[in-house]
Amino acid sequence: MELAELAAHEIHCLLKKKEVSVVEVVDAVLTRIDEVDDNIGAFITVNGEGAQREALRIDQEISRGREILPLTGIPVAIKDLICIKGMKTTCASRILNNFYSPYDATVIEKLREAGTIFIGKTNMDEFAMGSSTENSCFGITRNPLNPDTVPGGSSGGSAAAVAAGEAIIALGSDTGGSIRQPAAFCGVVGLVPTYGLVSRFGLVAFASSLDQIGPITRDVRDCALLMNLICGYDPRDSTSAATNIPDYTDSLLNDVREVKIGIPKQYFGEEVDEEVAEAMREAMALFKRHGAKIENVSLPNTEYAIATYYLIATAEASSNLARYDGVGYGQREKSDNILEMYEKTREAGFGDEVKRRIMLGTYVLSAGYYETYYLKAQQARALIRDDFEKAFQKFDCLLAPVSPTTAFKVGEKTDDPLKMYLSDIFTIPVNLAGLPAISIPCGFNSLGSAIGLQLIAKPFNEEMLLRVAYTFEENTKMSR
Amino acid sequence: MYQTVIGLEVHAELSLDTKIFCGCSTKFGQEPNSQTCPICLGLPGALPVLNEEAVKYIIKIGLALGCRILPEARFDRKNYYYPDLPKNYQISQNYLPFAVDGYLELPPSQKKGTPIKVGIDNVHLEEDTGKNIHSESGGREGYSLVDFNRAGIPLVEIVTRPDMHSLEDTESFMVSLRNILLYLGVSNCKMEEGALRFEASVSIRPDEASSLNARVEIKNLNSFKSVLRSLQYEIERQRRLLSGGEIVSGETRLWDEKEGKTLTMRVKESSPDYRYFPEPDLPPVVIKPQWIKTIRAAMPELPAERLRRFVKKYHLPPYDAIILTSSKSLADFYEEVVEGFPDGKHVSNWIMGEVLEKLKERKIGIEESSLTPASLSELLNLIKCGTISGKMAREVFAEMFATGKGAGEIVKERGLAQISDTRKIKETIDLILKKNPAAISDFQTGKKKVIAYLTGQVMKETKGAANPQLVNELLQEALQQQ
């Protein structure tokens, strides 16, 4: 297999055995980017020279005795809403197309320290608002499995890069499914950690109470390795959780005996593609064969999730995106008076979907509607959280499809926002409840599109997710 | 006769070394934008982290104003667009502030019998904004510049109930509140640096029984004087309107300091909707009762308590005590002088007389003068043991005040020490009597007035250094013996 298609832990072995150098790994990935990215469009910025320089430096340090940690020298792609010092952070928005971050996000500091190589910044839906990576001012990203289809979104660039060998591992962010859904569409592994487990410092906010950074990788082991690096309390993020971080590779056990898996019936309605549903049933059968206990469970408030999400997320977004006004940084449209400057800047700077959500969020928070919409949504959010809490009194994890369908065609849903929103119907409740969930490849449909299996656990039980996912992966070898 | 109804919103910068949500310095008067970071500049991805000292300060203020401290406080975003607001929302508190339902009792005045309590609606914490610099005030022509050094400086906002009914009440409230903040050490209250700012709301009504009329809010008030002047202007404007049968509409008006008038800023219908909602980047702050207890135990003595203590401990008339405790630095000064000269009333007389007079002349506060408490108590001691006369003391004091020198030093330099040595005075008296035989016979014939003349001669001979009372006594003695 080609170097650019290996998993990080495989490359790590080669580096350890000195069979390859970091420079060779980076060159292999950059070559792949050269070959395919014109078609895929996974990157907004390719950090070619920077990555090569860094690779050389790390090789030299290794020759002087630097320890090769599990992800040392591994090319990582970063979603373009995570700040890297000195690099552009655009959020795929025209309004930030000239913004160079003067600081590193906490996760970037951690990756830097471990010696990973930042290969580039990946494409996404503008400000993470979308489910197909079609809302980017830099153009769309295509699904490497089938270029006529979308890679999912909003972390579509990161998922496509990992799937196409344009990066070995990647970071995405997940507000309503933005890691899991593209991972599912591109046939890779994606995990959204418990809210608060990974610092949001340096992650450009879409909806602060929902956003989480997480890994997108080729297999479950890489996912655990990346989790080992990025998790942990950060005093710079007040919503960060002060909790002990285990070694997640300890959870990579091919063993689900006595694990109680709940099947939420609300996630298997008629909107689910038959082939997707069939893949889920096969997964249940596999777990059963390996000793897991499978039972149905009800999450009765699931039906309110989409409405709740679009009230809370847009409310927060309308405020979070207010800062892009052309005053201090970013794109500015000139005008003689300040009000007009704001209007022109934001009119020209934001795309349609972003504008739509800012307007909705502004409305939700307006005097007279705050109680009706925002507070009501918070109450619904509490109910949704309660549903899960009750389920986890009985179950170790829940199993569901990531999305009702597989990757849809480019352009298929761009004219129908509501249809697009429904793509996240099974991922959104997890964010509302702040839970961890993983998306793993679970076969292909008859057209060759990837199907994603979602596992959901209670807060801070990523270990359970990794264990169950690893068991599935070991017994199907379906990743990649 | 109309009744005036006034409420205030007071903003005070907390005297903390670092900003409320980041580690940037709060030092005043630095190079523009030199004290900023991704957080206070509101850069993409930056997050706020609450400065816990600010919470301690706010609880202190809440307790000093008799407020209830809520068990859980929360921050909210106040959304509005303005170039000096980096995120275009201000992190403030709307739904669950730190302290609610308090009051401030105005110190008793001579005019009014019953003390006035001004209700405090709430005390909350928020971040300050930056500062716009327009070309007319030093910016570049055709541009406005923004200095974000002030953005994120911790601010306390104290919101009163509309319980003030005159300019006197309002002034007394502002002075007392400032005093409390200074006593607590939570703000330097320097109005010239914008550390204390006000917004007033005012309405008038035919009498106490009538329902409240629409209130007018006045913004841009940066000193006690501008608050009082703008209120005066506004009360008169409203009175004129009402007397003319017109209606006062609820609106926000801007005080123009130069023109001395208020101007319409926005009418009520166009008042902004701030779309407050809970700040998702900051978890609620849980205030444990034990914490409140600890803070309460460490609270300094407040002006009202100190006033009571001054009356009791130093046997001062309430009038003296009110004036002495009206400023923390003056009260501190007083107590330090009393330490070196334990006659409370005597010290009070000096401070209320000589000291305040000089301060008034120079238009400064005691903390700005070079006069030290130690030198004043030294001076009072010199008077008491007769080294200098009361008259000399005033001269010495003038020099102390002007130069900051010690009393003893000045007396020594000028050779002002009073002669209280009986032998030396007797010698001088003998000399004078020898020179004035006529005076002796005058005395013997009953012309007692001659004593004054002779005393004067002795004083002249000693260049004023003799203790005049002693001279007088010894002269009488000597004359009897002739």
Number of other residues whose CB lies within 10 A of the CB of residue B290: 8
State how far the Cα of B195 lies from the Cα of B128, in Å rounded to an integer.
Answer: 10
**Cα separation, A55 vs A24, whole angstroms:** 9
Length in residues, chain A: 480
Q: How far apart are the first and last CA of chain A?
A: 12
Q: Please state, for a pLDDT cut of 70, what percent of chain A lies above it.
A: 99
pLDDT in tens, B141-174: 677 899 999 999 999 999 999 999 999 999 999 9
Nearest C-alpha neighbor of A120 from the set A152, A167, A153? A167
Amino acid, single-letter form, for residue B173? F
> How far is CA A378 from its chain centroid?
24
- Residue from B378, B295, B284 nearest B339 by CA: B378
Tell me the average pLDDT across A29-53: 98
Q: Which residue of B has its CA nearest to A324?
A: B87
Three state DSSP letters for A451-466: EEEEEEECCCCHHHHH
Q: Which of B289, B225, B214 is nearest to B253 (CA)?
A: B214
Angle between helices A305-320 and A376-394 (to 10 degrees): 120
Q: Give the tokens for residue B74.
A: 């929360």
Mean pLDDT of B10-36: 97
Find the residue in B nearest to A209 (Cα): B280
Spatial distance between the Cα atoms of A13 and A3, rounded to a whole number of angstroms: 12
Catalytic-labelled residue, pool A93, A101, A154, A318: A154
- Output the pLDDT for position B479: 82
Q: Which of A112-116, B267-271, B399-403 has the highest mean pLDDT?
A: A112-116
* Terminal-residue alpha carbon distance, chain B: 77
Mutual angle of helices B303-313 and B328-340, in 10-degree steps = 30
Picking from A201, A239, A327, the nearest residue to B283 by CB comes out as A239
Which one is catalytic: A101, A131, A173, A178? A178
A157, pLDDT greater than 50: yes
Alpha-carbon distances of A358 from A207, A313, A347, rounded to whole Å: 11, 10, 12
Contacts of B280 in chain A (CB under 8 A): 207-209, 239, 316
Phi, psi of A65 (to 5 degrees): 105, 5
For the ranges A61-70, B251-260, B374-383, the one whose mean pLDDT is highest: A61-70
CB contact under 8 A, B42 and A205: no
Number of alpha carbons in the 13 Å side-chain half-sphere of residue B101 = 4
With tokens 């108590």, the residue in question is B377
Average pLDDT over residues A424-448: 97
The model's confidence at residue A480, banded by pLDDT at 50, 70 and 90, is very low
Which of these, A208, A395, A475, A454, lies nearest to A320 by C-alpha position?
Answer: A208
Q: Is the pLDDT of residue B417 over 70?
A: no
- pTM equals 0.89
d(CA B76, CA A47): 39
Structural domain that includes position A300: 1-480
Enclosing H/E stretch for B69 = strand B68-69
Beta carbons of B373 and B340 less than 8 angstroms apart: yes
Q: Is the pLDDT of residue B217 over 70?
A: yes
Q: How confident is the model at residue B409 (pLDDT cuts 50, 70, 90)?
A: confident
Write down the pLDDT at residue B141: 66
Query: Measuring CA to CA, which residue among B319, B310, B335, B355 is closest to residue B107?
Result: B319
Residue whose pair of structure tokens reads 């007083």 in the numeric block:
B334
Mean pLDDT of B401-416: 81
Q: Partners of A79 in the beta sheet?
A: A122
Whether residue A129 contacts residue A154, with contact meaning beta carbons closer than 8 Å, is answered with yes
Sign of CA dihedral B449, B455, B456, B457: positive
Least confident of A90-94, B135-139, B419-423, B478-482: B135-139
The domain tally of chain A equals 1
Check whether B462 has a pLDDT greater than 80: no
The answer for residues whose C-beta is within 8 angstroms of residue A14's C-beta and 6 or more apart is: A3, A6, A20
Average pLDDT of chain B is 90
Does residue B452 have a pLDDT over 90? no
Average pLDDT on A123-127 reads 98
Q: Nearest CA to CA, how far is B42 from chain A (Å)?
A: 7
Segment A371-405, tens digit of pLDDT = 999 999 999 999 999 999 999 999 999 999 999 99
Residues contacting B54, CB < 8 A, separation 6+: B14, B16, B20, B125, B154
Which residues lie below 8 Å from residue B33, measured CB to CB, with a gap of 6+? Answer: B147, B148, B149
Q: Where are the domains of chain B?
A: 2-294, 301-414, 422-480
Question: Among B96-110, B221-235, B442-456, which stretch is predicted with the lowest mean pLDDT?
Answer: B442-456
d(CA B436, CA A257): 129
Domain of A455, CATH number, reads 3.90.1300.10
Q: What share of chain B is helix, strand, coil (3-state, %, to 5)?
A: 40, 20, 40
Q: Which of A211-225, A266-280, B460-474 has the lowest mean pLDDT?
A: B460-474
Nearest-CA distance A212 → chain B (Å): 12
Q: Taking CB atoms and an 8 Å limit, are A236 and B77 in contact across chains? A: no
Give chain A's count of helices (H) and strands (E): 15, 11
Q: Of A48-52, A316-320, B95-99, B391-395, which range is least confident?
A: B391-395
pLDDT at A66: 96
Q: Are strands B216-221 and B144-147 parallel, antiparallel or unpaired?
A: unpaired
Class of domain B422-480: mainly alpha
Among the partner-chain residues A102, A208, A328, the one whose CB lies closest to the CB of B86 is A328
The residue of chain B nearest to residue A84, with distances taken between CA atoms, is B45
Mean pLDDT of B463-473: 77
Instruction: Judge whether A448 and A422 are in contact, CB under 8 Å.
Output: no
- Quote the tokens at residue A123: 């494409």
- Partner-chain contact A101 B50, CB within 8 Å: no
What average pLDDT does this structure show over B363-373?
89
Per-residue pLDDT at B133 exceeds 90: no
Tell me what percent of the residues of chain B surpass a pLDDT of 70: 96
Candidates B184, B188, B126; CA nearest to B158 is: B126
**Beta bridge partners of residue B100, listed in sequence order:** B68, B122
Question: Model confidence at A479, in pLDDT bands (50, 70, 90)?
Answer: very low
Using alpha carbons, select from A86, A103, A158, A224 the residue that is nearest to residue B36.
A103
pLDDT for B269 beyond 90: no
Choice among A197-206, B92-101, B301-310, B377-386 with the minimum mean pLDDT: B377-386
The dihedral formed by the CA atoms of A290, A293, A294 and A297, expressed in degrees to the nearest 10: -160
Residue A237 neighbours by CB distance under 10 Å: 20
Average pLDDT over residues B363-383: 89
* Average pLDDT across chain A, whole number: 97
pLDDT in tens, B296-334: 999 999 998 999 999 999 999 988 998 898 888 899 999
A449 classed as catalytic: no
DSSP character at residue B250: P
**If you compute the radius of gyration of chain A from its CA atoms, what whole number of angstroms results?**
21
DSSP A206: S
